[in-house]
Every structure is written in C-alpha cells, then in structure tokens.
Structure 1
Amino acid sequence: MRKPTAGELLYNVAFDKKGAASDGAGGTTTAFTEQFSCRAAYVHLRGGESVQAARLQGQHPQVIRVRSSSHTRGVTTDWRIRDKRTGDVFNIRDITPGLDRQFIDFLCQKGVAP
C-alpha cells in the first residue's frame, strides 16, 4: 500500500460531536454540533462480501482519511463526519491511526443510524 499524500485531501469535512441542546419547550434534546473542520480524502472500499451486502441495503461504507492533529486524535466513534459541500453525513465505525502518524483513517458508513 502506498503512502498517502496531502495533495489527495480534496474534500472539506466537519467533525460533529453529539451533545445536548434546548428543545425550545424547556427540555433538552440530543443534537450534533460542529467542533472543527479540515481537509479529507475519500477512499472508497471495493469488493468484499460485507461491502457488497451493505451497498445492497443502501449503506455506503468508506474510509475518510485526514491529517493527524490534536483535534482529529480526540475524535471517537460517537462523533460523525459531515461533508461541508454536499451535506452528506457519515457515522464513524472505526478509527485507525496511520503507521507514520501523519494521517488517521476513519471507517465510516453513510445511510445508517448513528
């Protein structure tokens, strides 16, 4: 597998954290709020059985790669990633730091509940 480069980070994504917000009637509700944004690369997964089965169910698993930073190292699987241009929302399923410590890969799914 070849080493990723910063030139591949073509997309602008936001990282949203789940928190509590006012519902306007004196109570609270769960809401996501943007914590930070950065550049990212999308790595579309090909072929295995689980990937094909997910696509048949309307889900889209893929890897979103970002530069490692103090912000991105603090992200957990209860956060979500949002494409700032299209508004697509990706739920984070797994987090894998790169061996070179320059990038972090987020295994995400689009089209599923958090």
Structure 2
Amino acid sequence: MSGAGDLVERVAFDQRDVADDGFGNRVESWSQRLTCYAGFTALRGGEGVIAGRLEGRQPIIVRVRAWSTTRQIGADWRMRDLRAGDWAADSSGSYWSGPVYAVRSVIPTPDRQWLDVMVESGVAA
C-alpha cells in the first residue's frame, strides 16, 4: 500500500467514555471521534497469527493518513468498518451490527505520512 488510491475502506474510530450516572456508579459508553478512509492488510504468517485465527481472532493492519486527528488514536480505542455494518436497535438499545475491532497499536510510517493501526477482530473492544 503506497498511495491514497489504496484507501478504499471507510472506518470510524471510537473512544471509550466513562461518566457518573448520578448515583455513584460508572457508566461506560463509546463516542465516535473520527471517520476516515483506510486500507486493510490482513496478517497471514507467523505462529501468533495462526494461533489467533484458531481462537477466532484476526489481526489486520489498517493504514490511514497521518493528520492531527488520526494521531490521537490510542490503544484503548476501537474501530468500526462503516461499509460492513450499520446502527440497529432492539429492546436493549442501539448497537453496531457490523464488525468491531480492538485497536492494539498505532505506528507511524518512517515518512510520517501514514499511520499503521493494528486492530484485531474477535476480541472484546
């Protein structure tokens, strides 16, 4: 992946929010912080990757353009694939119907134009 033409996926990054419910309890929720175009590269080799697949986890490298907002992405965030899901509602409230990925690491490329975000599906975000 070398250029902006390779960014064909649309993703959203969410940050965990913690608030007081007024009764002394902590209430956790997710707030969308940014949306952007991205390119996906599934990791294929290595013992850890293969072992993770056997457990239902799939690590993916997501490349996004490095700018002030994307540089705020942290390892405690989550990512949603906007082309593969939508918000749905049931009796318990609204939820994301598509895949959700836990962000594991954010590494800038040597030229500092891109960020490689390692995400993992199949784990609690």
Look up the match of 1:112: 123
What CA distance in whole angstroms lies between the structure 1 residues aligned with 2:29 and 2:37?
A: 23
In structure 2, the residue corresponding to 1:47 is in which secondary structure?
coil
How do 1:1-114 residues align onto structure 2 when only pairs under 5 Å count? 4-20=2-18, 28-86=26-84, 87-114=98-125
In structure 1, the residue corresponding to 2:79 is in which secondary structure?
strand
What CA distance in whole angstroms lies between the structure 2 residues aligned with 1:102 and 1:36?
A: 18
**What value does the CA root-mean-square deviation take over the aligned residues?**
1.6
Report % sequence identity.
Answer: 41
The count of residues paired between Structure 1 and Structure 2 equals: 111
What CA distance in whole angstroms lies between the structure 1 residues aligned with 2:74 and 2:66?
A: 14
What CA distance in whole angstroms lies between the structure 2 residues aligned with 1:39 and 1:51?
A: 25
TM (norm. structure 1) is: 0.89
Gaps of 5+ in 2: 85-97
Gaps of 5+ in 1: none
TM (norm. structure 2) is: 0.82
Which runs of at least 4 in structure 1 moved beyond 2 Å after TM superposition?
20-23, 25-28
Could you tell me how far 1:74 is from its partner in structure 2? 0.9
Deviations 1:42-87 (A, max 9, x none): 0111111100000000001110110001011111101111111212
What CA distance in whole angstroms lies between the structure 2 residues aligned with 1:21 and 1:12?
A: 29
